[in-house]
C-alpha cells in the first residue's frame, strides 16, 4: 500500500506570513495532485504535477514535484484568511486512475 | 470540468436505519467513485461505480453495508445501511477529470446517534 505523509498536520498563522506544506512518500508517483477543501465542501483540485522537478505557480501558491517523484511541496506566500482550509495531496501511479490521499494539512490564517 | 450535485448535504440518523446519498453529474462519465472522509483521516475509497455493472468495492467495504446503484452515466447513489455511530463521517462522490485529478461533490455529513 502506498502511503503519503503530509506535514504539518495543523498550521495556524497570521495573515501575511509564508508557509510550506509537505507531502512525502517512499513510492514513486506518475502524477501528484493538490486539493483544497473548505468546511462543508468537497475537495477542489488546485494543480496536478507530472514531471520530476516540475514547479507550478497558481497566484500566491507554488507547487513543486520532487526530482524522484516521491514528494511534493506547496508554498503559500503572504497567506490570506481566504487560504484557510484543508490541503490534501494525492498521488497516482502506473495505470491506476485511483489516487492515494494524504491525511491533509489543516491551515487557519488569522486576519 | 464536470459539476456534481450531491444530496443531502447533511443528516442526523438513528442507529439501525439507512440513508441514501445521491450524486448527479452534469455530463456523462464512465466511472464514479464513492469516498469516506473521517476526521483526521485521509479520504478512503469505498467503491467504484460503473454504469451497467456491479460496483467494485475496496477492501473493508461490502455491498450489503454500502449498496450502490448506477442506473445511467450521470447518476449514482450510495446507501449506508443499518447504521451505527461508527458510520458517522463525510461521504463524497467524485469523477475523474483531466489532467489526472478528481472533481468532488460537496459531500454528505452523516451523524448517527
Each domain of chain A, given as residue ranges in start order, spans: 5-110
Q: Which residues of B touch A45 (CB under 8 A)?
A: 97, 101-103
Instruction: Cell numbers for A76, please give them.
Output: 503559500
Instruction: Cell numbers for A8, please give them.
Output: 504539518
For domain B4-108, the CATH class is: mainly beta
Query: What digits encode the pLDDT tens for the residues B84-100?
Result: 999 999 999 999 887 77
Instruction: Cell numbers for B50, please give them.
Output: 460503473
A21 touches chain B (CB under 8 A): no
Question: Quick check: B99 and A92 CB within 8 A?
Answer: no
| Structure confidence at residue A2 as a pLDDT band (50, 70, 90) | low
| Closest residue in chain B to residue A37, using alpha carbons only | B106
Q: Which residues of A touch B9 (CB under 8 A)?
A: 40
**Three-state secondary structure call for residue A67:** coil
- State the pLDDT at residue B51: 85
Distance CA B65, CA B104 (A): 22
A103 touches chain B (CB under 8 A): yes
**CA B73 to each of CA B19, B26, B55, B57, B69: distance values in angstroms, whole numbers, following the listed order:** 22, 10, 14, 19, 11
| Structure confidence at residue B101 as a pLDDT band (50, 70, 90) | confident
Q: Which residues on neighbouring strands pair with residue B55, listed in sequence order? A: none
Query: What digits encode the pLDDT tens for the residues A54-76?
Result: 999 999 999 999 999 999 999 99
Task: Scan for cell 512518500, then name that residue.
Answer: A25
For domain A5-110, the CATH class is: mainly beta
Q: Which residues of A touch B97 (CB under 8 A)?
A: 45
Most A CBs within 10 Å, among B9, B23, B100, to test the A interface? B100
Burial of B26 (0-12, 13-18, 19+ CB in 10 A): exposed
Query: What digits encode the pLDDT tens for the residues B32-67?
Result: 999 999 987 789 999 999 888 889 999 999 999 999
Please give the residue that has the higher pLDDT: either B101 or A34. A34
Question: Quick check: B6 and A42 CB within 8 A?
Answer: yes
Q: Which residues of A touch B106 (CB under 8 A)?
A: 40-42
Distance CA B71, CA B104 (A): 19
Does A20 score more than 60 pLDDT?
A: yes
Dihedrals phi, psi of A21, to nearest 5 degrees:
-115, 140
Distance CA A60, CA A66 (A): 20
Amino acid at each position: 500500500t502506498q502511503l503519503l505523509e503530509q506535514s504539518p498536520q495543523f498550521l495556524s498563522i497570521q495573515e501575511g506570513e509564508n508557509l510550506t506544506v509537505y507531502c512525502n512518500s517512499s513510492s514513486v508517483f506518475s502524477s501528484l495532485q493538490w486539493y483544497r477543501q473548505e468546511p462543508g465542501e468537497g475537495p477542489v483540485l488546485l494543480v496536478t504535477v507530472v514531471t520530476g522537478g516540475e514547479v507550478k505557480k497558481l497566484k500566491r501558491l507554488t507547487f513543486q514535484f520532487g526530482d524522484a517523484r516521491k514528494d511534493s511541496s506547496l508554498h503559500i506566500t503572504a497567506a490570506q484568511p481566504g487560504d484557510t482550509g484543508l490541503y490534501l495531496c494525492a498521488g497516482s501511479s502506473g495505470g491506476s486512475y485511483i489516487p492515494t490521499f494524504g491525511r491533509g494539512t489543516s491551515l487557519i490564517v488569522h486576519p | 470540468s464536470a459539476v456534481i450535485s450531491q444530496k443531502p448535504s447533511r443528516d442526523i440518523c438513528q442507529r439501525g436505519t439507512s440513508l441514501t446519498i445521491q450524486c448527479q453529474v452534469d455530463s456523462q462519465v464512465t466511472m464514479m467513485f464513492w469516498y469516506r472522509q473521517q476526521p483526521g483521516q485521509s479520504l478512503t475509497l469505498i467503491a467504484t461505480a460503473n454504469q451497467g455493472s456491479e460496483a467494485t468495492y475496496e477492501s473493508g467495504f461490502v455491498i450489503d453495508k454500502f449498496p450502490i446503484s448506477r442506473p445511467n452515466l450521470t447518476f449514482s447513489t450510495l446507501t449506508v445501511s443499518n447504521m451505527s455511530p461508527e458510520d458517522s463521517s463525510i461521504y463524497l462522490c467524485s469523477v475523474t477529470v483531466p489532467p489526472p485529478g478528481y472533481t468532488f461533490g460537496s459531500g454528505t455529513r452523516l451523524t448517527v446517534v
